Amino acid sequence: MDNIKISTAQFEAKDNDKSYNLSVIEQLTRKASKEGSNVIAFHECSITGYTFARYLSRDQMLDLAEPVPEGDSTKKLVEIATMYNMTVLAGLFEKDRDDKIYKSYVCVDKNGLVAKHHKIHPFINPYLTPGQGYTVFEIHGWRCGILICYDNNIIENVRATRLLGADIIFMPHVTMCTPSPRPGAGFVNPELWKNREADPTSLRLEFDGMKGRAWLMKWLPSRAYDNGIYVVFANPIGMDHDQLKPGLSMIIDPFGDILAECRSFDNSVVTANITKEKLINAGGNRYLKARRPELYRDIIGQSHNAEQKVAWLDSEKKQ
């Protein structure tokens, strides 16, 4: 297909309630199908819940995790995809035959598993195994990639996925509204969420400010622009365990422009038409052709000491 319709969704997931979360995934997939969409993407760990996993032991993580594609959750996703003739992407914790545990994001259609990605930079739980590679696959003739949350903050990951052929990168997150050294960051008071109907303005100001959307706009559109790709960003709305998340799921084109964005406080879905013409005309396409890797191949590939610190997790350890 030269043109396809892609949807991104946001919803308030429940901790370790796969049946409920999959029921919402089905509802929003049905809605996207009625809008003529071919593909729908949900947030990181949308099937299992996310933030609560920071407290779980290895045995508890193994109980929560499932094999892919043999597990019940992946089978249910395939059932949903078949019911609405959609390609569906969603996240969960996965375990393999050796009981290694991964943060996974899967893509399915009516024929079964299309692709899965293991998060390269997981941090929510110490028993997670980092992914060891990039994921590029095809949906309706479009080359697609997956990078989960923090994977996208490491700019080399986005460039590498693009260089492997991806024209669309799905970027599922559970992000924003957490402490950080950057100015303006921090948690958002859950009381604002409880009072969102009576006082939507105060909550929207927090979500749209430097704790949320204003920070996102500093870097997310540039990933699309610099690489000449479509970005499909999915993020939860409401409480994710004890942290409030702002949603803002959106689709960004290769010019860095937002085509569609979830702007309500509700479980919702938005859809955008994706065209190949923009891939050709975008500046990022020219930048890729103008690269001179002989100048920086050794610099980018040189050894270094990898360091990954998450401010809000570090602050909890100190308490």
pLDDT tens for the chain, 319 residues long, are 889 999 999 999 999 999 999 999 999 999 999 999 999 999 999 999 999 999 999 999 999 999 999 999 999 999 999 999 999 999 999 999 999 999 999 999 999 999 999 999 999 999 999 999 999 999 999 999 999 999 999 999 999 999 999 999 999 999 999 999 999 999 999 999 999 999 999 999 999 999 999 999 999 999 999 999 999 999 999 999 999 999 999 999 999 999 999 999 999 999 999 999 999 999 999 999 999 999 999 999 898 887 777 877 776 665 5
- Token pair, residue 214, equals 């204003």
User: Quick one: pLDDT at residue 136?
Assistant: 98
Count CA within 13 A, CB hemisphere, residue 181. Answer: 3
Residues 8, 12, 15, 18, CA torsion sign: negative
- Report d(CA 202, CA 14) in Å as an integer: 24
The pTM (predicted TM-score) of the whole model is 0.97
209 with 217: CB under 8 angstroms?
Answer: no
- How many domains does the structure of the chain reveal? 1
Q: How far is CA 234 from CA 6, 61, 67, 260, in A?
A: 12, 24, 23, 12
- Token pair, residue 82, equals 């078949």
Which structural domain range is residue 19 located in?
3-318
CATH number at residue 297: 3.60.110.10
254 prior amide bond cis, ω within 30: no
- Report d(CA 128, CA 110) in Å as an integer: 29
Helices (H) and strands (E) in the chain, counts: 11, 14
